[in-house]
Amino acid sequence: MSDTRDNPLDDPTADPFEIAAAAADDIARLTGVEAHDIALTLGSGWGKAADLIGETTATIPATEVAGFSKPALEGHVGTLRSVLTPGGKRVLVIGARTHFYEGHGPRRVVHSVRTAAATGARTMVLTNGAGGIRHTWTPGQPVLISDHINLTGASPLEGATFIDLTDLYSMRLRDAARRIDPSLEEGVYCQFRGPQYETPAEVQMAKAIGGHIVGMSTALEAIAARQAGMEVLGFSLITNLAAGIQTTPLSHQEVLEAGREAEPRISALLAQVLAVL
Ligand code: HPA
């Protein structure tokens, strides 16, 4: 579904960081919260977490905020929420992800992350629903992202912007998550462009180059978060085994159903993890 309304990010002469700063001003005005500590992007299956991490003090439609696009997909809620945790932290919950496969370019994909940084957030928690390559994983299982392979051929960085991605998915934060749930496994996330699911041969390629998880989000956002100086924690919900690993065809419906079933459990886990960040 294309979004034909004007978006300031589509002007190549515009500065995406200025638009992110304007978006942060919109969020402060609309939520009444001057600054946030943590940002959390909710992927398929993770939606209930927002209700569990604390008290929602404001919910705003993302379309009211500079540079945000309409959600392209059922199951992707187009809202931003400000949540106050029992520990007194302010969490910006981003339920409005723009995917690279929508074709609007990396600037729009990472705008929510840059906006989160402009609101003051120093920690970026990225979640998604994804396919698992490891045979031992089962649909409904959450896994930590330990690293990524960016197969989109794109980058949110413009010009000669050399950013170190060692420890992109913070070991410190992964350890914190494992203290909450020692059974959490981890793997390398491969971001494909999509929107088609991978072929079995592409899944075998991902496996051969060191991947364990296949999906269509997160890597570009993580790069932008690191550029903004944020510490990143990534979680995938394994909604299905990847094409050819599972023998039955993949369907978006199946992905949504696995998300819905796992939602209460993984959201509770995420809320517990956020409480210690
Ligand atoms: N591949 C890519 N993206 C996905 C998958 C998958 O198998 N499952 C959920 N999102």
Is residue 239 within 6 Å of ligand 1 at its C-beta? Answer: yes
- Domain locations in the chain as residue ranges: 8-276
24 CA distance to ligand 1 middle (Å): 31
Pick the atom of ligand 1 nearest to 128's CA: 10
Q: In angstroms, what is the span from residue 204 Cα to ligand 1's centroid? A: 14
Q: What is the C-alpha to C-alpha distance for residues 205 and 223, in angstroms, rounded to an integer?
A: 23
Q: Give the DSSP letter string of 155-203.
A: -S--SS-----TTSB-HHHHHHHHHH-TT-EEEEEEE---SSPPPHHHH
On whether the CB atoms of residues 53 and 275 are closer than 8 A, the answer is: yes
Under-50 pLDDT residues of the chain: 1-4, 75, 77
Give the whole-angstrom CA distance, residue 150 versus residue 192. 7
64 backbone dihedrals φ, ψ, rounded to 5°: -85, -5
Q: How many CB atoms lie under 10 A from the CB of residue 250?
A: 18
What CATH code is assigned to 8-276?
Answer: 3.40.50.1580
Ligand 1 site, residue 129, Cβ cutoff 6 A:
yes
Question: Looking at this protein, which amino acid is placed at residue 186?
Answer: E
* Ligand 1 centroid – CA 252 distance (Å): 8
Ligand 1 pocket, mutate which of 255, 256, 257, 261 (most atoms under 8 A from CB): 255
> Residue 192 is encoded by which pair of tokens?
């494909």
Tokens of residue 66, six digits: 């500079």
228 close to ligand 1 (CB < 6 Angstrom): no
How many Å apart are CA 213 and CA 227, to the nearest integer? 23
- Secondary element (H or E) of residue 215: strand 213-215
* DSSP output for 18-45: HHHHHHHHHHHHHH--S--SEEEE--TT
Residue 258 confidence (pLDDT): 86
Active site residue 198: yes
Residue 232: the pLDDT is 98
Burial 4-17 (b: 16+ CB within 10 A, else e): eeebbbeeeeeebe
Rounded distance, CA 117 to CA 211, Å?
28
Residue 13: name the closest of 158, 222, 161, 223 by CA.
158
pLDDT in tens, 198-239: 999 999 999 999 999 999 999 999 999 999 999 999 999 999
Question: Can you tell me the distance from the alpha carbon of 46 to that of 128, in angstroms, rounded to the nearest whole number?
Answer: 7
Give the tokens for residue 191.
């971001």
Active-site pick, 18, 102, 158, 198: 198
- Ligand 1 atom showing the smallest separation from residue 198 Cα: 1
Q: How far is the CA of 241 from the centre of ligand 1 (A)?
A: 8
